[in-house]
Structure 1
């Protein structure tokens, strides 16, 4: 019995070795991920160094997939070199992603941002399917048909393997539920254990890759059907795109720009056209060409890409000119740049005589290399979007392109990582008193607000605080209301809040209590003079009281000891979250 692999090199014994190699890879991946999970749960290294944790998590999550996809297709030496290189690059991307950000105390492992995980996976997929065909062909550039065959087959395998893994896990939970109804909870308890779930899921995925790999005819059949169905959606997309572009001169662009997501919409349409054109073109062999209608539609689609990408650039340039760079706009600009490479190549393929759409092949390869290079640059220190956006925004402020009252200081404080925090610190020392004051206010805020600085100042002026029992509002507290978002929300022009000073922790210094109708907010002053929200007191025992808490708060406030002290576990302080008991205090 000779079961052949798609490379035509292995038989039954080789298939068993491949299966064993993939199972071992899946097991190692599962154990590595569980080790990271265990470290994260128990505060062990590398949990104590988030950047290292992020690096290891991204490498452990993605690099083993290179082995699963490459074993049996690449020589052991090539596979080992490529896997090690991919793991190193992934680790560097993960390290940079975490290291450039300011992590909040509640941020949990793996600390990685979604864009890094998503674009990292895309770059790895593209790079692998550029390297594998070339390595197998023994050339720097393989025949285009090899790239097409490898990439589209891998896409089908990946989709089916993920579906198999998800279905397998759902079936395990179904079985656990069946046993649970007869009082046997062992399987359900086992599925809830990370030490079991992670290795099992990785083993299931490795098994799915093996099963789809050795059923080469099945995968190719599924791919053929998928390509055929998708290719007949190309005329639909081309007609819709042409209609949209034809309508723009009559409707104007205001509606498109008014969506505030015009670039994303237009680039998504361009990406759909690119994919559908490729489903029609496939590997470009003359015996695999689609009907005449699809060939002409592919040419039309190649032409339509140019105005679509042009609209994307236009929308981006308008937004950047008005509001400057942000990390999202920089990523969108990079995507538009890759789209422009596709549009130029596909336009040439559409208008050139000779072999139908032949320049598309070189365009796809060049754009794939460009995509990997752009992703690596964006998610490394080379073109870090946060750093570039911070530099642009602060430059706009300093040259007067945006007034200090309209500048988004909270972007620096909360959304641009260490680069933004450093810029904000620098602005607090600005020679412009208004800039320095607004930067200091943003630095003191504990959460993002989406109002403009001018609106925040207006809200701060509207805050009304009424002190009781002859007390006064601390001047430093009144001066920082713009940074205390709770006050801006609950103590506006419509409803004044009642303020009382009280030493809650017995340290000889007063905290500030601010009462609304339904709760009491507590604020404390740090050694640097900054007032911070400490928490809220609320009563769930008498929600129907017409007058709320405020009348009783005006009469006086006493303190009562907590029922149970805080716990310290592994150096972490844990506070009791009390159950609601509607009892009268003594």
Structure 2
């Protein structure tokens, strides 16, 4: 009698200390990675962050539930998926090796990996425990919903630990002791404390099994009683759509996303009421009939979303957002079909819902793998579709979204732009070259040249605007010249090579343009000081009042072993170097 209890206690202590060790190792690894981080991390650092950030969570969730060998194999497979999808996500962005710096401004990949790992973990662990591919449905339900509650409580516990540390540091600061405030700001302390606190939260919530199940039951019960409200609203919406007019629905740009969100809400509430369909969780008759109605309503909601999405794709082609929405609609269609069948089928109350949930979970895993791998990369598919529409004339060269290729589709867009620069259509080729040279998306805004609304005034008076310069202007610069008055143009040989550059002077920017075999291209731009009265000066007025002159640089370029280094001042306003100021040199006029 005592022996099994003693063995269970020993096993519980082993799991606890193992979880704490996993959390500590994760925190230390994150610290060593963070020591080299800059505002933009390298590809190798990003890969390490993703693997170290996700894999230990899989281990924490699997300890004590499956054999060690099975957990190690699953953790290795999870790490391989995280590394593979992360590497492809980096590769598709642009060229560069492992040391290339990247800007982490897109949370979509980490979010998708978190969803994939959560679903996969709660499909794999029951399968390992039962030694079969498909486990009994109650095990899926129990493990997944329990883990969701554990995750929320563990995150809350981690936040509480930090709240206590911050409060303690504030108390010590009151009496002039800042050691704790300085300590918690150190990454070598903060990162391990965070990961160990999370691991401890997982361990503590795992021990209190009855408490977790009680919290889960209360939460699901409360959610289930929201289903009548959302079902009534969804039914009212579907009834009102024909009378209000379907055109009003498509006039809203986010109609498909909102309809799919409503369907997802119904799916969650149906599952909250169904749970694992045991005697303890069987909902009352009123809720059961409400959920049958909700399950049937999923069908028209998903059909409306599919219809609207197909219209948008037919009119404007594929985009990454529409491809992701199409995948969500596919998953919604599986849920809608399975739930509607469960609602109308006679027999046990909505029992086919269980098989639908398992099948949809596997489908979600496959869809995420496809979207974030070469199989169905939204950027690749969108670039191919949009360029095909351009080439067959479905969209004109003036209306085509070159900014998407340049800034939002990674290497696929860059490759497509390179091909378009060689297009036999001169307008497409010119706009593609302009897009390749653009530094910001707003550089590629629309520009109207019919009737010469963009005004370029030659300076000094009597000179001429070079032919083709207006057509070469990016959209934002052309719009600025049209909106704020004349923009001045002066021809100067700035670099002394015998050829004239066109200096385009707006109110706030001066840029030099050089003519090549394919037309005018922007060579460089000059910026105003960022502080003082000069920051608001009108450059056109300065040109007209004082003329244009070249001046020696405040800091010279450097040659380091043949490598030319250009100065990049740290201060927002350059300071004149000490010593007598150099005389300005008037630039020679254009020949």
The verdict on a shared fold, with TM-score over 0.5 as the criterion, is yes
Q: Residue 217 of structure 1: CA displacement?
A: 1.5
Mapped pair 1:550 → 2:547 = no
Alignment correspondent of 2:199: 206
Q: In the TM superposition, what whole-angstrom CA distance separates every residue of 1:368-397 from its partner, at most 9, and x where no partner exists?
A: 011101111111111111111111111222
Q: Does the 8 Å contact 1:34/1:198 carry over to 2?
A: yes
1:132 matches 2:125 = yes
Measured against aligned partners, the alpha-carbon deviations of 1:257-299 in whole angstroms (never above 9, x if no partner) come to: 1220111101110011000000100011234201111111110
Cross-structure match for 1:490: 480
Q: CA deviation at 1:440?
A: 2.1
- Match of 1:381, SS state, is coil
Q: Which position in structure 2 is the counterpart of 1:37?
A: 34
The match for 1:118 among 93, 111, 114 is: 111
- For 2:498 and 2:150, locate their aligned partners in 1 and report how far apart those are by CA, in whole Å: 68
Give the one of 260, 270, 281 matched to 2:274: 281
Label 1:3 to 1:163 Cα distance change in 2 as closer, same or farther (>3 A): farther
Of 568, 571, 576, 1:578 maps to 571
Residue 70 of structure 2 is aligned to residue 78 of structure 1: yes
CA contact (8 A) 1:98 1:112 kept: no
Cα deviation digits, residues 118-140 of structure 1 (max 9, x gap): 11110110000001112112222
Q: Measured at CA, do residues 460 and 534 of structure 1 come closer, stay the same or move farther in structure 2, by a change above 3 Å?
A: farther
Within a 5 Å distance, the mapping from 1:427-466 to structure 2 comes to 427-449=420-442, 455-458=446-449, 461-466=452-457
Cα shift at 1:39: 3.0
1:23 is matched with which residue: 14, 20, 24? 20
CA distance in 2, matches of 1:456, 1:406: 10
Instruction: Say if 2:528 is the partner of 1:537.
Output: yes
The aligned counterpart of 1:58 is 50
Preserved CA contact (<8 Å) 1:177 1:188:
yes
Supply the distance in 2 between the matched residues of 1:566 and 1:450 (Cα, whole angstroms): 29
Q: 1:92 to 1:235 in 2, by over 3 A?
A: same
For residue 394 of structure 2, the aligned residue among 388, 401, 404 is 401
Distance 1:103 1:190, change over 3 A: farther
Deviates more, 1:502-511 or 1:473-482: 502-511
120-129 or 556-565, larger mean C-alpha shift: 556-565
1:512, 1:524 within 8 Å by CA — same for their partners in 2?
yes
Counterpart of 2:81?
Answer: 89
Give the C-alpha shift of residue 479 in structure 1: 4.8
Provide the residue aligned with 2:249 in structure 1.
256
Tell me if the contact between 1:541 and 1:581 (Cα under 8 Å) persists in the aligned partners: no
TM-score norm. by structure 2 comes to 0.87
In the TM superposition, what is the alpha-carbon distance from 1:328 to its structure 2 partner? 0.8
Indicate if the aligned counterparts of 1:57 and 1:110 stay in contact, CA closer than 8 A.
no
Deviation per residue, 1:40-73 (Å, 9 max, x gap): 3399xxx65x2x4443332222111100100111
Residue 175 of structure 1, CA deviation: 3.3
Alpha-carbon distance in structure 2 between the residues aligned to 1:311 and 1:249: 12
Give yes or no for contact 2:406–2:436 (8 Å, CA) kept in 1: yes
In the alignment, the residues of structure 2 paired with residue 508 and residue 186 of structure 1 have an alpha-carbon distance, to the nearest angstrom, of 66
- Return the TM-score normalized by structure 1: 0.87
From the superposition, tell whether residues 216 and 67 of structure 1 become closer, same or farther in structure 2 (CA, over 3 Å): same
State the 1:76 CA deviation.
0.5
| 2:59 maps to 1:67 | yes
Cα distance in 1 for residues equivalent to 2:25 and 2:335: 39
Are positions 1:266 and 2:259 aligned together?
yes
Worse overlay, 414-423 or 312-321:
414-423
Q: Which residue of 2 aligns with 1:305?
A: 298
Assess if the C-alpha contact under 8 Å between 1:350 and 1:357 holds in 2.
yes
Equivalents in 2 of 1:79, 1:252: separation in Å?
55
SS in 1 for 2:447: helix
Q: How does 1:312-351 map to 2 (within 5 A)?
A: 312-351=305-344
Q: Tell me what 2:472 maps to.
A: 480
1:102-181 to 2 correspondences below 5 Å: 102=94, 109=102, 111=104, 113-181=106-174
Q: Output one character per residue of 1:318-367: Cα deviation in whole Å (capped at 9) or x when no partner.
A: 10000000011001100110110000000011001110010000000000
Contact 2:504/2:513 (8 A) holds in 1: no
- Indicate how the Cα distance of structure 1 residues 188 and 108 shifts in structure 2: closer, same or farther if over 3 A, else same: farther
Distance 1:487 1:287, change over 3 A: closer
Match of 1:218 among 211, 215, 220: 211
Q: CA deviation at 1:436?
A: 2.0
- The answer to whether the aligner puts 1:12 opposite 2:2 as a matched pair is no
Could you tell me how far apart the structure 2 residues matched to 1:506 and 1:100 are?
A: 42
Unpaired runs of 5+ in structure 2? 582-591
Q: How many corresponding residue pairs?
A: 570
SS in 2 for 1:456: coil
For 1:574 and 1:356, locate their aligned partners in 2 and report how far apart those are by CA, in whole Å: 74
* Equivalent pair of 2:65/2:129 in contact (CA under 8 Å): yes
Match of 2:586 in 1: none
Counterpart mapping for 1:234-249 below 5 A: 234-249=227-242
- Going from structure 1 to structure 2, the CA distance change for 1:561 and 1:438 (only over 3 Å counts) comes to closer
SS at match of 1:466: strand
Instruction: Say whether 1:468 aligns with 2:437.
Output: no
Hey, what does 1:361 align to over in structure 2? 354
CA 1:291 to 1:94, structure 2 compared with 1: closer, same or farther past 3 Å?
same
Structure 1: runs of 5 or more not aligned: none
Q: Please tell me whether the aligned partners of residues 338 and 353 of structure 2 are also in contact (alpha carbons under 8 angstroms).
A: yes
Could you tell me how far apart the structure 1 residues matched to 2:58 and 2:478 are?
A: 52
CA pair 230-463 structure 1, distance change in 2 beyond 3 A:
same
Question: d(CA) in 2 for partners of 1:429 and 1:64?
Answer: 49
* CA distance, structure 1, for counterparts of residue 244 and residue 529 of structure 2: 53
Deviates more, 1:239-248 or 1:485-494: 485-494
Q: Hey, what's the Cα distance between the residues in 2 that align with 1:206 and 1:270?
A: 35
Cα shift readout 1:445-474 (whole Å, capped 9, x = no counterpart): 22213977xx32439953333343477656
Q: CA RMSD in A?
A: 3.5
In terms of Rg, which structure is larger? 2
